[in-house]
Amino acid sequence: MIDRLDLVLRQVLLSGVPVPATQLSFQPPNQDWQQRVAGGVGLWLSCALVDLREDRHRRTTESRIEPDTLRRIRAPFRMRCHYLISAWNSAKDGTGTNGAQIDATGAEHALLGSAVSTLLDNAPLTPAEILVPVDLATLPESWREASFDTEVLPPEGFPKLAEFWGNQGRTAGWRPSVWLAVTVPVTPSPIQLGGIVTHIVTGLGTETFGETLIDLGGLVLDATGAHAAAPVPLMGALVTVTNPAGQLCARDISTADGHFVLSGLRPGDYRISARSASHAPLAPAPVTVPLAAPGPLELQFT
């Protein structure tokens, strides 16, 4: 997940910062990085991920339940990703072989300024405006149409800047850095609440039920051809229930998991059938509501 945020940042920075793609890295500016810079040519940009925090001010306990799959979908929490961006130059301040003065530090400052301008111009970061479709498709689904809260140079400054540079090796020294904070949603995995509901009884009235309505749940399976030995859920099947007079009482279309729910049925005898574009229709079969045995009602195309 974080590597996908790195991808967004990389594409943003490369759009406005004059460094080759091979010299923009998310490697910390430690001794290995410094050796890379010293052995190379030109300007380099380090975008080190230095901290991860949950934005608890935006935490919520809200959730929703998908009725067809019986999964609880929890609201995403917000993760703040903190980066320190520093500019580096393979050249050193001084006099070149041709006698010209080399202002390596000034070039680093110019590069850092370009990074700030580019980030500000693109804040808040919106992946759909930055990535090509093939790269956008690799992001978590909740990111693809989102905009990320983006803070460039928060006024309080990075609180552990001296400690950060002190841990990068004795030759690192201290140098100015851009503190960038990007907040992204992290969606928890759905919670499966259990199997499909066989039926739900709803009573209308106060002390005594005036009317009982039942929701009948079931599963459509494909048991044709290669699936004969191990039936698989069938999506898109139209399931209908009629009364003895042939009147339609309820209908539903099976989900990707093969589930269907027929709502608002009164207790009694019915006939149930199913149709699918890729199969011959199932002959109507008798069914009594509520079901005598627990468990979902299975309809199989054979």
Average pLDDT over residues 46-63: 82
Write the CB contacts of 130 (distance below 8 Å, at least 6 apart in sequence).
8, 11, 12, 15, 122
Between residues 210 and 185, the one the model is more confident about:
185
* Predicted local confidence at residue 264, as pLDDT: 84
**Could you give the CA distance from residue 269 to residue 199 in angstroms, rounded to a whole number?**
15
pLDDT-derived band of residue 64, with 50, 70 and 90 as boundaries?
Answer: low
Task: Please give the share of the chain, as a percent, with pLDDT higher than 90.
Answer: 52
Write the CB contacts of 153 (distance below 8 Å, at least 6 apart in sequence).
116, 178, 179
- Write out the H or E segment, with its range, that includes residue 150: strand 149-152
pLDDT higher than threshold 80 for residue 31: yes
pTM score of the predicted model: 0.61
Nearest Cα neighbor of 60 from 151, 206, 185, 202 is: 185
pLDDT higher than threshold 90 for residue 52: yes
pLDDT higher than threshold 80 for residue 194: no
**Could you give the CA distance from residue 46 to residue 24 in angstroms, rounded to a whole number?**
6
Cβ atoms of 119 and 84 within 8 Å: the answer is no
pLDDT higher than threshold 80 for residue 257: yes
Residues for the chain: how many in total? 302
* Predicted local confidence at residue 263, as pLDDT: 84
* Predicted local confidence at residue 200, as pLDDT: 54
pLDDT-derived band of residue 90, with 50, 70 and 90 as boundaries?
Answer: very high
* Predicted local confidence at residue 242, as pLDDT: 94
**CA-based R_g, the chain, Å:** 31
Cβ atoms of 274 and 234 within 8 Å: the answer is no
85 burial (CB, 10 Å; 0-12 / 13-18 / 19+) is: buried
**Could you give the CA distance from residue 108 to residue 95 in angstroms, rounded to a whole number?**
17
Least trusted range by pLDDT, from 139-143, 150-154, 244-248, 292-296: 292-296
Looking at domain 195-301, its CATH architecture is Sandwich (2.60)
Could you state, in order of their start, the residue ranges of all structural domains in the chain?
2-191, 195-301
